[in-house]
């Protein structure tokens, strides 16, 4: 049986299509569902709940706030809590991350504030995965590049280090310098997870780097690999997050295998 991901859309969510594409490439089934149609289906049929990036409700009262309020509302709020309690995966990207924070599903006392630059930033950043984190989404990842594009991504609060699965880096390591740390996050945090490692939010966009040709320097990579007779890879580094999510969710479908692990 294939893993099934439920991807929310509507009300200003922008990136459901790219998320769906990522799950297709990771060999999972997915359903893109409008927020207003959620009552028509059962979360029991899914192993991953996805809150994609965008500007839900125009971000007017602070990013993610209005969407979080809708998702906390009965009976959906209870259904999502049950989903989390069952050890299923919840994944928020960018505005979805902001929404998870507002829903209270990520470490208490943390929030996402306007970028230190005071501006919306669209740029590629270097990230390093924290190997001690329980996060199932970043398992096995080391260093990679992804784009950020947000105006409110500065993490405030004091999250435990292991619940920060990804950090903004420069050549030397985690950094607070602009623009490598594009928003001024504490602990150079680009992501947060809950102690189970199964609720995960990040500001960068893995779904925007599914193919190598989405990287800003891909033409150089291609030119140089060709000259040295090596192969230019087709995949982008963001696909690993999808594969990890699908692998972790697969264990829920095959309890015997999970027990053996």
Please list the active-site residues. Answer: 94, 205, 207
Q: How many residues does the chain have?
A: 261
Q: Across-strand partners of 191?
A: 202
If one asks whether residue 69 binds other proteins (CB under 8 A), the answer comes out as yes
* CB-based contacts of 63, cutoff 8 Å, min separation 6: 55, 56, 95, 98, 112, 150, 151, 152
Q: Which residues pair with 9 in a beta bridge?
A: 34
Near other proteins by CB under 8 A: residue from 4, 10, 180, 225:
10
113 binds other proteins (CB under 8 A): yes
Of the pair 15, 28, the CB lying nearest other proteins is at 15
Task: Say which DSSP state 195 is in.
Answer: T
Nearer to other proteins, 36 or 131 (CB): 36
Interaction of residue 47 with other proteins, rule CB under 8 A: no
- The rounded distance, in Å, linking the Cα atoms of 183 and 191 is 12
Work out how close the CB of 67 gets to other proteins at its nearest, in angstroms, rounded to a whole number.
10
- Contact (Cβ atoms closer than 8 angstroms) between residue 53 and residue 94: yes
Footprint of other proteins on this chain (CB under 8 A)?
Answer: 10-12, 14-15, 17-18, 21, 34, 36-37, 53-55, 57-62, 65-66, 68-69, 102, 109-111, 113, 119-124, 147, 149, 156-157, 205, 207-208, 210, 213-214, 216-217, 219-220, 222-224, 226-227
């Amino acid at each position: 049986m294939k893993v099934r991901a439920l991807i929310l859309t509507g009300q200003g969510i922008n990136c459901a299509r790219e998320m769906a594409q990522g799950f297709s490439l990771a060999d999972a089934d997915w359903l893109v569902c409008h927020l207003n149609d959620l009552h028509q289906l059962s979360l029991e049929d899914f192993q991953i709940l996805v809150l994609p990036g965008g500007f839900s409700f125009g971000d007017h009262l602070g990013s993610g706030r209005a969407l979080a309020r809708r998702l906390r509302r009965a009976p959906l709020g209870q259904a999502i809590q049950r989903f989390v309690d069952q050890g299923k995966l919840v994944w928020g990207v960018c505005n979805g991350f902001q929404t998870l924070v507002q829903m209270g599903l990520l470490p208490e006392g943390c929030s996402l504030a306007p970028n230190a630059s005071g501006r919306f930033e669209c740029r590629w950043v270097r990230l390093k995965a924290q190997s001690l984190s329980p996060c199932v989404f970043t398992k096995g990842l080391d260093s990679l590049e992804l784009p950020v594009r947000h105006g409110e991504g500065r993490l405030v609060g004091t999250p435990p280090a292991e619940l920060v699965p990804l950090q903004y880096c420069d050549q030397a390591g985690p950094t607070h310098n602009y623009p490598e740390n594009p928003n001024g996050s504490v602990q150079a945090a680009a992501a947060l997870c809950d102690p189970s490692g199964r609720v995960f939010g990040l500001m960068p966009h893995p779904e925007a780097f599914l193919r190598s040709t989405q990287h800003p320097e891909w033409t150089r990579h291609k030119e140089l690999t060709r000259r040295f007779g090596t192969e230019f890879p087709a995949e982008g580094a963001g696909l690993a997050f999808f594969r990890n999510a699908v692998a972790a969710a697969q264990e829920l479908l095959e309890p015997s295998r999970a027990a053996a692990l």
